[in-house]
Structure 1
Amino acid sequence: MCAAVVDERFLLSDQQRDALLDWIGQRPQNGRPMRAFLSSIAFAALRPQEALALRVRDAYLPDEGPGHLVIHPRRLRDGDDEAEGAGGPRVVPACPELVEVLKAEVARRGLGPDDAMFTRDDAQPLSGGVYRRVWHQAREVVLEAHEIDSPLGSRVSNLRDACITKWLSGYRTIFEVFAVAERVDVSAPSLARRFPHCFQPPGEVCNDLLEAALDGQVHWDHLTEVMALPDSLKS
């Protein structure tokens, strides 16, 4: 299933993201676990189902600085975001802000290594219906009237899209693109198709690929796949 091109109108700014997360975190019922769950999507670009599967033992949360999360492969349902994902475990960096949020949640609930990182306050599973409802409530309260009626942040998965966009923004070598693709568990050509606004001029992308392939640094299978992109994404 081919993932749709990301519409920039859906993407929250850092300030809007933080305001939404802060409002959710202050809710008396399930606010803190909900904020921690959504933060893992917003700062580590996890799919919601990947975040829900996360165990405490999968998170390296140092006293200072960045950490990382180990994401284990899960079967994605047809229609899920980028259902093409690869099959092996992957390591995703956790920025210091995310580390602090997760450490606070582990300490607050006294979680052990085998415990699920994200559940409701009553230890029941955090369902899609619950977190989507809270997300829509947050939009209604935090965003401006014209933003509420727009596509801006209309889906929880838009947090993942905004994080990927930030990782890809600016000049990126082909090797950096492959690194981001591995981090988010999609192919590099899929990133190019889904986030075309993040890439340097297409001709430069293809030139970088050709030079790297001639040097033996990029496998020809990858080169062939990227060169097969639609004309709008290549010279």
Structure 2
Amino acid sequence: HPLEMAPQTPATRPTMPLRRTTSSAISATVVLAELKHRKRKQGTQQVDPRSVVNTMQARMLLEAVPTVGKPGPPLAAFFGALYYAALRPEEAVNLKKVNLSLPTEGWGTIHLEKARPEVGELWTDTRKASEERSLKHRDDHTGRTVPCPPQLTEMLHNHINTFGAAPDGRLFRGARDSGRVPSSTYGRVWRKARRAVFTEEVAAGPLAKRPYDLRHAAVSTWLTGGVEPTRVAKWAGHSVRVLLEVYAKCLDGGEQAARARVEDALRGW
């Protein structure tokens, strides 16, 4: 059978014909009006400004990470990459030495090529819980270049000098087999860091509740800092339209600063 002879990739596994058949059956039923059908609206989820930390809060959280027992110190630069370079967690876990162009100190550059999302054993060719894939919203051979601020340059140098890298060059590795750092591991470290920094009341709220919120804080900082949206979109791996939709509420937070700039300009007339 042709299907049995084909390489067993996620797209050719025996589940695909079944899914196609099921989809066709449902579509036919909808056409026959035997089911009520409501088309899902395509929308972009906006970032909640309440989840976005300011610079001081971010710095306190990053400083708390190395204090979280044994798993904390090896993940300090991981969280730093999320905040200072706006990497997605799936990009940070796959960050390799070859992706870095770093001076001894100062601004460097990160060249992202691949990500390593957690997708489950059934959806990878290797039967592992993760595998290298193209960057989000990117073709297979299209990467992304991100600036590396001096703070992150220092963190990455310290990490490499202290912990080295996995055999394939990845900076961050699991404790058991040097594989991908599980989201459960860095999530647990992050929860402990939040509890160490925030009061019980603040920790119960949405402020930096997820590691991903560090990326949101980074992009928001770039935008409110006056970096043009086209450049921010390029750094973050978004289109300008999606960028402005996702961060619309965060941009509203710069209303007072914007008014002050207009007032200063009017005084010059």
TM tier relative to shorter chain: 0.7 to 0.9
Query: CA shift at 1:146, angstroms?
Result: 1.9
Alpha carbons of 1:59 and 1:22: their partners in 2 closer, same or farther (altered >3 Å)?
same
Alpha carbons of 1:22 and 1:84: their partners in 2 closer, same or farther (altered >3 Å)?
closer
Would you say the 8 A contact 1:71–1:89 is kept in 2? yes
Query: CA shift at 1:2, angstroms?
Result: 3.7
Identity across the alignment (%): 29
Alpha carbons of 1:75 and 1:24: their partners in 2 closer, same or farther (altered >3 Å)?
closer
Query: CA shift at 1:142, angstroms?
Result: 1.4
Would you say the 8 A contact 1:170–1:198 is kept in 2? no
Aligned to 1:23, the other structure's residue is in SS state: helix
Is 1:132 paired with 2:173?
no
Give 1:85's aligned amino acid. H
Would you say the 8 A contact 2:60–2:197 is kept in 1? yes
Give deviations 1:110-131, integer Å, cap 9, x for gaps: 3489411112456353110100
Give 1:93's aligned amino acid. P
Equivalent position of 2:97 in the other structure: 56
Alpha carbons of 1:58 and 1:171: their partners in 2 closer, same or farther (altered >3 Å)?
closer
Equivalent position of 1:43 in the other structure: 84
Distance in 1 (alpha carbons) for counterparts of 2:173 and 2:114: 20
Distance in 1 (alpha carbons) for counterparts of 2:235 and 2:251: 16
Question: Where in structure 1 are there 5+ consecutive unaligned residues?
Answer: 202-235
Is 1:160 paired with 2:215?
yes
Is 1:141 paired with 2:193?
no
Alpha carbons of 1:178 and 1:75: their partners in 2 closer, same or farther (altered >3 Å)?
farther
Is 1:70 paired with 2:94?
no
Distance in 1 (alpha carbons) for counterparts of 2:166 and 2:190: 28
Query: CA shift at 1:27, angstroms?
Result: 3.0
Instruction: Give the TM-score of the pair, scaled to structure 2.
Output: 0.65
Distance in 1 (alpha carbons) for counterparts of 2:208 and 2:166: 33
Distance in 2 (alpha carbons) for counterparts of 1:170 and 1:55: 29
Distance in 2 (alpha carbons) for counterparts of 1:170 and 1:29: 36
Distance in 2 (alpha carbons) for counterparts of 1:28 and 1:103: 21
Is 1:190 paired with 2:242?
yes
Instruction: Give the TM-score of the pair, scaled to structure 1.
Output: 0.74
Question: Which segment is superposed worse, 44-53 or 137-146?
Answer: 137-146
Among candidates 134, 137, 150, match of residue 96 of structure 1: 150
Query: CA shift at 1:74, angstroms?
Result: 4.1
Distance in 1 (alpha carbons) for counterparts of 2:116 and 2:72: 28
Distance in 1 (alpha carbons) for counterparts of 2:91 and 2:136: 14
Give deviations 1:20-72, integer Å, cap 9, x for gaps: 21111123402222111111001000000001111111111211211011111
Would you say the 8 A contact 1:120–1:126 is kept in 2? yes
Distance in 1 (alpha carbons) for counterparts of 2:157 and 2:201: 36
Q: How many residues align?
A: 194
Q: CA RMSD of the aligned region, Å?
A: 2.5
Higher gyration radius (CA): 2
Give 1:31's aligned amino acid. G
